[in-house]
Structure 1
Amino acid sequence: MGVVESRRALFLGRNRTVANRKRPPWTGEDFTDSCTRCGECIKACPEQVLAPGDGGFPQVVFRGEGCTFCGECARVCPEPVFDFAREAFQWTARVESQCLAHSGVHCQSCQDACEPRAIRFRPQLGRPPVPEISEDVCTGCFACAAVCPQDAITLQQPPPETEIGYD
């Protein structure tokens, strides 16, 4: 990477690691029961989204572009850890109050990084547009957070399903 490219990456936030203690994509709560911690999924990830975590289990550590859902981690895993029938990630992005747009500064870097176009900036009269995230479109890849200059994007888990009791 050249000097100009590395400066651009620095200003866009691509040299920064956005850590998150999360399970790998397409895994369930029981993944530690099947995972042998061989590290094959970590080596296979072209985006370097997976890294060794607590106890040597792979965990998601978003860097740069976020997860592209290529599936290489699942393809190389010798154990029944990954299941493509599952949703890749169960979380969605959330914009926090330190977002530059909330402070009146024109910034749309998160929208530009969002491949599924889950983030939109709707025009507003008299002030810069603020981001709106469509939770049903958001894949949880976290590419938006990797480029946010304010670290204003976090992940949120879906609310637990409420059981309806019939008494």
Structure 2
Amino acid sequence: MNRPAYKYHQFGRTNRYFFFSDGIYGTITKTVMITPIEPDLVNSPHLDLYNLAFGDVKEEDNSWIFDDSSRSNNGDMPKVMATVVRIAIDFMKKNKNAVLTFSGYIDQKSDTLGRNQRTILYQRAIESNWVELNTYFQFWGIRDDKQEDYVPGKLYNKILVQHR
């Protein structure tokens, strides 16, 4: 993927990554967490599934928390999304049997519009790099609790991706 991205760091040997977004509201710490999930959550018992969660790191009650509901609007979304994609690619190259699943946090705007704005954002990132990403990765979409091969332009509730 030949898009500008931020340098990211991995927390030790965990599947947690962080990077810094630099934009109109200053520097914001972002994090990506990749955690194992039960396969029955997507009706695919044979898969080695992981959830990819993305958000801001915020201070609350003198401790740091992960907030996947935040909308920082720091003016650097293409670079942020390119960084998240690079982290996902890095993880999948190291874990060839892993299948990542992701969907956006359902916020008030998504609920009002009846479609998940963050999942749409993730789909735009995939589709703007579709030719390259589809060469190396297999994508599926989940819509109405049914899994199918990913079709660019079609809206999904969840997206799954695996290294080819």
- Structure with bigger gyration radius: 1
Q: Normalized against structure 1, the TM-score is what?
A: 0.28
Higher-strand-fraction structure: 2
Q: Normalized against structure 2, the TM-score is what?
A: 0.29
